[in-house]
Amino acid sequence: MQQEQATAQGTRRAPEPPIHGPEGFEGMRRAGRLTAEALDLLMEATQPGVTTEALDKLAYEFAMDHGAYPASLLYRGYPKSICTSINHVVCHGIPNDKPLREGDIVNLDICLILDGWHGDSSRMAYVGEVPRKAQRLCEITYEALMRGVAAVKPGGSTNDIGRAIQTYAESERCSVVRDFCGHGLGRTYHDAPTILHYVEASYDVPFKPGQFFTVEPMINLGRPAVKVLGDGWTAVTRDRSLSAQFEHTVGVTETGVEIFTISPKGLHQPVNPAA
Ligand code: MF3
Ligand code: CO
């Protein structure tokens, strides 16, 4: 989500992140699993020549077939069921009728609402065989997500996530996008706390068991600056460098963290076709 919106939610409207009980965890497990299954389907369907509109249709039909609804559809006027962000698009790319091209990397982002609970996740997919530097960026971004998730446990606070991600990404000579962040969710799509993917001393929320939120770092090969195109959604890197993103929905447990959006097929990271 966009950061100004998040900060407004974080500081003015909903300073206290909601604490959920066992029925919340049950609901999030089901919504998260369905979201992960949808991404498995989308990952397998991503091929050269396929349009992002075709992927969007697949996602919409999957949601309808499983009694779910795509949270992004008509959200603040967003027209589609998924976001498809290709190459230098950072996030919120709108599916269209242009065929994917061999060598593209594309982020597939979907949030499914099941029985009122939101499961939000995104992964990178390779379109055919992708260049080594694009592959490297995707690997670094997945590792950054998992380091951020691993930093979640009671006694810590949201800056532990930002520190883990920023330290690692910058050590790999990549940059962390500042303008978009993770967010609390549950029965609503965007809630407190805001999850920044870099360290921000002025905003730090303690982790408590029962909090649900996303971790969704956007990592660039070049500079962190982004701009939003005239459609009001598509965010691109200002320097047109490649950008990647992975996202999980997680819950804080008594001892650590539970990931709700694990891929049943183990398709978290894309792979280049064997040479
Ligand atoms: N995972 C993104 C977010 O939470 C997806 C946004 S969907 C859109 O911000 F509708 F806002 F584009
Ligand atoms: Co999200």
The secondary structure of 174-194, three-state, reads CEECCCECEEECCCCCCEEEE
Task: From 78, 226, 228, 234, give the residue whose CB has the most ligand 1 atoms within 8 Å, as the site to mutate.
Answer: 78
Q: Do 65 and 90 meet the contact criterion of CB atoms below 8 Å apart?
A: no
Instruction: State mean pLDDT over 98-125.
Output: 98
Nearest-ligand number for the alpha carbon of 72: 1
pLDDT score, position 3? 80
Rounded Cα–Cα distance for residues 193 and 160 (Å): 14
Whole-prediction pTM value? 0.96
What are the structure tokens assigned to 129, written together?
């065989």
Mean pLDDT of 58-87: 98
Name the pLDDT band for 1 (thresholds 50, 70, 90): confident
Judged against a pLDDT cut of 80, whether residue 275 lies above it is answered with no
Residues 56-84 have a mean pLDDT of 98
pLDDT over 90 (residue 8): no
Smallest CA-to-CA distance from 225 within 238, 240, 234 is with 238
Strands 248-252 and 257-259: antiparallel
CATH code, 5-9+18-259: 3.90.230.10
Q: What is the tens place of the pLDDT at every residue in 178-215?
A: 999 999 999 999 999 999 999 999 999 999 999 999 99
List, for residues 111-124, the tens digit of each pLDDT value: 999 999 999 999 99
72: Cβ below 6 Å to ligand 1?
Answer: yes
pLDDT for the residue numbered 12: 45
Query: Is 248 assigned a ligand-binding role in the annotation?
Result: no
- What protein residues have CB closer than 5 angstroms to ion ligand 2? 120, 214
Q: Is 17's pLDDT higher than 60?
A: yes
Mean pLDDT of the chain: 96
Digit-coded pLDDT (tens) for 161-172 = 999 999 999 999
- Which pLDDT score is estimated for 66? 98
